[in-house]
Chain A
């Protein structure tokens, strides 16, 4: 298995070299730019690990079994949406031995893969599983319709409706601890309410991220009941 690492930071390339030496890995290619990939013959079992902000043209990722993204800072929703990064394919730099091992195995060893923090619901239900199920059912019944209403409102640029719908979704986001979109939803509601868009395209893409996280949470909740 070939590992290809792309990073424009010399310091981070050195750190990665040191890590692979420590782990005794040999089939590793380290590059500075995405454009350098053109010169490589990619085999069907290569792993690509790349910095999120590395320069060069976004390549065609066919031929790689997995693509992992790394960055020195937390993954922002807009970047996640732009590069279509799965949260379990993102790692914070510096890359640790465990991180690299989990990338190679193709499985994440992160402690908690769940997108939900159900501590508030647990406090509320106090062990009453029926109550918990009832709450989940309300989520599953209402959220898909609210997503449709939101996407329609975005399509029609109906800012009042956008703000109202995101507001209605926020109580659910907080109740079910969907932390990845808690702050984002608040910002989106405020932006729609005050019509203070920096960029409409960015707003649309962030709404897209919000709805995809909600759908992901719905799938997770469906499996709970």
Chain B
């Protein structure tokens, strides 16, 4: 992938982190994957890395301390952070969770376990988005 922005993964399950790492490896994405185990840690990392913000946030909903929805609300309230696309990855197929996600401006909603093909589709869309953003600037 030409664009080397990092990807922030917010996930508290070791199994899920391994799966995303594996998908990146398998699909040949060389972008750095940064993982944090809850929304609070994720926000703190974003604040510390204002000059090098990720190009994408992959967000689990059910996390301790600060859950996914709360994190998403805080990100979308921030003038700079709100530009980062956030894709929700959750086991919940419940329409109300999906609606809640999109109401909070999530860029996508994926039901776990996520298959390679779904990852590929989502990451390709993001790459396209990054390319367009670069052309525009």
Contact = CB atoms under 8 A, between A and B. Distances in A.
Interface residues of A, number: 21
Nearest to A190: B94
Given A120-B115, A123-B116, A171 B18 contact: no
A134 interface: yes
B100 interface: no
Contact of B62 (A120, A123, A125, A167): A167
B15 A175 contact: yes
Interface in A91-120: 120
Contact of B18 (A123, A138, A167, A170): A138
Contacts of A142: 14-15
A168 B115 contact: no
B91 A167 contact: yes
Contacts of B23: 124
Interface residues of B, number: 20
A172 interface: yes
B26 interface: yes
A186 B90 CA distance: 12
A16 interface: no
Contacts of A125: 22
Interface in B41-77: 62, 64
The prevalent SS among residues of B at the interface is loop
A153 B67 CA distance: 20
A135 B62 CA distance: 21
B128 interface: no
A171 B26 contact: no
Nearest to A170: B91
A139 interface: yes
Interface in A140-183: 142, 164, 167-168, 170-172, 174-175
Nearest to B17: A138
Interface in B90-111: 91-94
A138 B93 contact: no
A200 interface: no
B13 A171 contact: yes
B19 interface: yes
Interface of A: 120, 123-126, 131, 134-135, 138-139, 142, 164, 167-168, 170-172, 174-175, 186, 190
Given A120-B115, A125-B22, A168-B12, 20 more contacts: A123-B115, A124-B23, A124-B116, A126-B26, A131-B18, A131-B22, A138-B15, A139-B15, A142-B14, A164-B64, A171-B13, A171-B15, A171-B112, A171-B113, A172-B15, A174-B112, A174-B113, A175-B15, A175-B113, A190-B94
Closest 9 CB pairs of A and B: A170-B91, A167-B62, A174-B113, A138-B15, A138-B14, A175-B113, A120-B113, A171-B112, A171-B91
